[in-house]
Amino acid sequence: MDGEASVKKAYEAILNHDFEMAIEWFEEAIAIEPENAAYHYKLSITYSRSGKWAKAKEHAERACSLDPGQEEYKLQIRLLEAKGNVHQAERLAQGTSSDLLHAIKLLKKAIVMDPLLVQAYLLLAEIYREFAEFETAAAYAKEAYKLDPSNLAAAKLVQDCEAKFRYRK
């Protein structure tokens, strides 16, 4: 079997929502053609969908090192770094005021790397609400809601923060 046949099997697995099997098939394709940047990139995407961020980043970086001219490989690394910032900020959000300030920096950096990352906007809104900065919290919650109008948590956060902001005036 060649690498392309393994990739086709990986896509069949994805269509069947079997991401673990897809990972196995992409890994097989890489075993056959270890210098194929596209295979590493595709495996990175699949690892990312499975929540395996470290492996996703490893393969995105490998793809980029094999073919540094591919912008989508660089974009994948940025998107993974943004998600990593959000996960780190989520852990920090349970801590002290100093931790929360660090979380804010991480989240703002995540938004620069991935302006469509709804989770970053929502967590920023929640942190600013903790600091009783309701106008800022509402602005971030509104942005999350604009990006995902079906997100009920964002809608509720907008209402809550706007009500508290109006009450303080």
What is residue 95's predicted lDDT score, i.e. its pLDDT?
A: 87
Give the C-alpha separation, 135 to 61, whole Å. 39
What are the boundaries of each domain within the chain?
3-69, 97-168
Residue of 110, 106, 122 whose CA lies nearest to 160: 122
In this prediction, residues 15-30 reach a mean pLDDT of: 96
Q: Is the pLDDT of residue 1 over 80?
A: no
What are 76-106's pLDDT values in tens digits?
Answer: 999 999 999 999 999 999 888 889 999 999 9
Give the number of other CB atoms < 10 A from CB of residue 63.
26
- What angle (nearest 5°) sits at the alpha carbon of residue 17, between those of residues 13 and 23? 50
**Domain 97-168 maps to which CATH number in 3.40.50.450, 3.40.50.2000, 1.25.40.10, 3.50.50.60?**
1.25.40.10
What is residue 168's predicted lDDT score, i.e. its pLDDT?
A: 60
What are 129-150's pLDDT values in tens digits?
Answer: 999 999 999 999 999 999 999 9
Fold of 3-69: 1.25.40
With contact defined as beta carbons under 8 Å apart, do 82 and 120 qualify? yes
- What angle (nearest 5°) sits at the alpha carbon of residue 91, between those of residues 19 and 73? 45
Q: Is the pLDDT of residue 169 over 60?
A: no
Question: Hey, do 3-69 and 97-168 end up sharing a CATH topology, with the first three levels equal?
Answer: yes
Give the C-alpha separation, 127 to 99, whole Å. 11
Q: What percent of the chain has pLDDT over 70?
A: 96
With contact defined as beta carbons under 8 Å apart, do 141 and 122 qualify? yes
Q: Which range among 1-5, 102-106, 121-125 shows the weakest confidence by mean pLDDT?
A: 1-5
- Band (167; pLDDT cuts 50, 70, 90): low
- Band (51; pLDDT cuts 50, 70, 90): confident
Entry pTM: 0.82
Give the C-alpha separation, 96 to 93, whole Å. 8
In this prediction, residues 8-15 reach a mean pLDDT of: 96
